[in-house]
Amino acid sequence: MSWFVFVVRLNDLFSPEDRDQINPSASRPGDRVQQLFPPIHLQPYMIQKLGTKPGDMPVCEYVSARTVALAISRG
């Protein structure tokens, strides 16, 4: 649960490229759409500490590639 974004997981029919087509400029001015939650194992700190790499956790990467965060506040 988050108080600042509404997380949406796109249907499996959508590709990561489809997700990237969601453009905040196509929405109302001030709306924000972004990939807010990349896989934790691909964060620089985790890569450095654990040596993780893309492909190590394919389900996590698959879900992350089809997830967007919509800002709740327009402030």
The per-residue pLDDT for 27 is: 52
Task: For the chain, 75 residues long, give each residue's pLDDT as a single digit of tens.
Answer: 567 778 888 899 988 888 877 755 445 555 566 666 789 999 999 999 999 999 999 999 999 888 888 777 655
pTM listed for this prediction = 0.70
Residues 6+ apart with CB under 8 A from 16: 65, 66
CA distance between the termini of the chain: 20
Residues 6+ apart with CB under 8 A from 22: 33, 68
